Amino acid sequence: MPDAAQTTARFSDLHGGEPSGVWSAPGRVNLIGEHTDYNGGLALPIALTQRTRAAVRLREDGLLRVTSDISDDPVEVAVADVDEQRPGGWASYVAGVLWSFGRQGHPVPGADVHVSSDVPVGAGLSSSAAIECAVAAGLDDLLGVGLLADDAGRARLASWCQDAENTIAGAQTGGMDQAISLRGQEAHAALIDCRSGEVEQVPFDLAGHDLALLVVDTKAQHELNDGQYAVRRATCEAAARTLGVGTLREVPVSGLDEALGRLEDDESRARVRHVVMEIDRVERCVAALRGDDYAQVGRLFVASHASLRDDYEVSCLELDVAVDAALAAGALGARMTGGGFGGSAIALVPAGSVDAVTAAVEAAFAERGLHAPACFAVTAGPPAGRDA
């Protein structure tokens, strides 16, 4: 990824002068706990070492001017005009954060921003939250808000970024991605309780156990604001209303059958079954990680994928091919990660099998005439912060 000096240099080329600083924030892989965050449930993501950098300088004329390494053409919008879907496209993730700061009583007088990233875009690895959190870290520093200083502040900043994504970018996402980007820890997975907002750090050191976590970016298109994600969320919220609970988190596994019996259609039953069982799998996965039982972690990955594929119906051919090929080649477990409908899968593999599993996945894609995937091993990196 371009380092802070390169991001500064690009900023100077495109905006003139120096930025006031450079901040960065990680993408993420969710180990398990998918489509649970907006149900008040549990999720267990790691922050990646792949990061998005934002070089930022405030301006006083009410204008936001954004550039990125992907496109030199600046997007310009008056801060006062930022609104639902305006300016639209990826710049909404930047503009949305300015809007959120204003909404929280910290008006931004304008800004020049240059974004560079090595979080693959559209791969379901949370590239959008990484942009939001890098920009939020910069504004927090430059406006002297001070929320980066501790975990409670970072939790607030994460909720402002989520507000930006929900309201300005138009994706009704649940908050896991912003939480891990701001609150993750190196060499740890974060057990996020999306009801209480609490985060518990769980040691995550695969190398010490001769294991690796392989990401398969399927290159299948993934969009969270195309309607399907919002439909899943709405179905869960309607089911919670029918069951008389605030969120599906309140349905215990022991009461699942009774709850399912009170729902009227098979689709709602399948969605609720996924959510309730997935929250339980997160708890079991944390116990397995703490007990160094990686065979069990693998089994839970497999069960999670089957549930997302069959009950939640958010998988796709490419994700299923990646998971099946990885398992056939010796992975302990594999599953889609993130929102689904494309994006990435993960596989827990013996460290010595990374190349063999990669080759098997690539061969399976080639056999089916699918776009070549990108496979790479990942580790848990640090959260958002200032780079320069």
Q: Which positions are catalytic?
A: 177
Residue 54's H or E segment, with its range, is strand 45-58
φ, ψ for residue 286, nearest 5 deg: -60, -45
Minimum distance of ligand GAF from residue 30's CB (angstroms): 6
CB of 225 to ligand GAF, least distance (A): 10
Residue 126 Cβ vs ligand GAF, minimum distance, rounded to whole Å: 6
Tell me how far apart the alpha carbons of residues 340 and 122 are, in angstroms, rounded to a whole number: 11
DSSP per residue, 241-298: HHHT-SSGGGS-GGGHHHHHHT-SSHHHHHHHHHHHHHHHHHHHHHHHHHTT-HHHHH
Q: Of the two residues 34 and 362, which places its CB atom closer to ligand GAF in the complex? A: 34
CB nearer ligand GAF, residue 24 or residue 36: 36
Using CB under 6 A as the criterion, which residues of the chain lie in contact with ligand GAF when the complex forms?
Answer: 30, 34-35, 37-38, 173-177, 224, 338-339
Beta strand 344-350 with 374-378 is: unpaired
Q: Least distance from C-beta 129 to ligand GAF, angstroms?
A: 7
- From CA 332, how far away is CA 326, in angstroms rounded? 9
How many distinct helices (H) and strands (E) make up the chain?
Answer: 11, 13
User: Would you state the torsion angle of the CA atoms of residues 383, 384, 387, 388, taken in this order, to the nearest 10 degrees?
Assistant: -150
CB of 19 to ligand GAF, least distance (A): 28
Helices 317-328 and 354-367 meet at what angle, rounded to 10?
A: 140
Of the pair 14, 276, the CB lying nearest ligand GAF is at 276
Cβ distance to ligand GAF smaller for residue 224 or 329: 224
> Which residues pair with residue 47 across a beta bridge?
28
Decide whether 80 or 238 has the Cβ nearer to ligand GAF.
238
Phi-psi region of 95 (alpha: psi -120 to 50; beta: other; left: phi over 0): alpha
